[in-house]
Structure 1
Amino acid sequence: MRVTVPTAADVTVTPNAEMTSLATPSRGTAEVSAWRVRMEPGAAGPPHAMDREQIWVPLTGALLIAAGDAEPRRVAPGQAAILAAGEVRRIAVDGEAPAEALVCTANGGRATLPGTGEVRAVPWAE
C-alpha cells in the first residue's frame, strides 16, 4: 500500500477550478487516476470530451453537469455522475457555495475541445 499526501506541487490552478492530484501514474498508480476539484460559485469549465470514462463524486456544494444532449443535472454529495468517454460535457457550480468533488478515471486520459479538434493533456491526472 502507498499513501499519498498532496503538496503545493500537486495543485494545478486554471481559470475555472483548482485540481489536486491524489493518485496518478506519477504517484504510483497503474490503472486509475484520482484528483480533487474545487470550484468557486459561478465557475464553469469549458465544454470538452474526455477519451476515458470519468466518475465525479461531489464532496461539498453541488455541481450542474451537462453531458451529451441531455438536460443539465444537479449532482450533490451522496451522488455520483458517470460520464461516458467521448461525451461532451460542461461542469459548473450549482448554487452560492464552492463545490468540491473527487474525480476518478482510467490513466492516460486526454480532453478534446469540440469544434476545434484540439487535444489537451490532463496534467493533474498524469
Structure 2
Amino acid sequence: MFTNSIKSADAVDGVNISVYGTNNQLIGTGATNKEGVAEIPYSKKEFSGFKPAMVIAKTADDFNYLPFNNTRVNTSRFEVGGKRNNPSGFDAFVYAERDVYRPGEQINFLLSFVTHNGKTPETFP
C-alpha cells in the first residue's frame, strides 16, 4: 500500500491501514513507513474464499477508503475501439504507475515491444 499527500505528493508516514475482505471481515493491518509504504501480509489459505475488497487508511486527523469494486477510470469519451494494424511489425505497450496524473507531475512508465506474434524482437530499429 502506498500513501501520498494530495497537497504535496510526499509520502505519508504513520498511516494505519486496514484491509477488509468480501465478507466484511478484517484481513490484515499495517502502518506506513517513512516512504509511505505499508506491506500487509495476506494468505489465501488463511482467508480461503474471501478476497480483499476495501482498504481503509486512517491518521489522527484524516480518513480515507478505497473500495476495489468501484475504482475504474471511465474511458467512454476516449477512442478504445480496438487494435489497429501497425506496418512496423511491432506492438508497443505502455504501462504507467497509475491512471491519472496532475499537470506538471513526473510520469514514470514502462514500454514493452513485441512482434505481432507476441515474441520479443531480436533486432529493433
TM-score (normalizing by structure 1)? 0.25
Q: Which protein has the bigger strand share?
A: 1
Q: Which protein has the bigger helix share?
A: 1
Where relative contact order (Cα < 8 A, 6+ residues apart) is larger, the structure is 1
**Could you say which structure has the larger radius of gyration?**
2
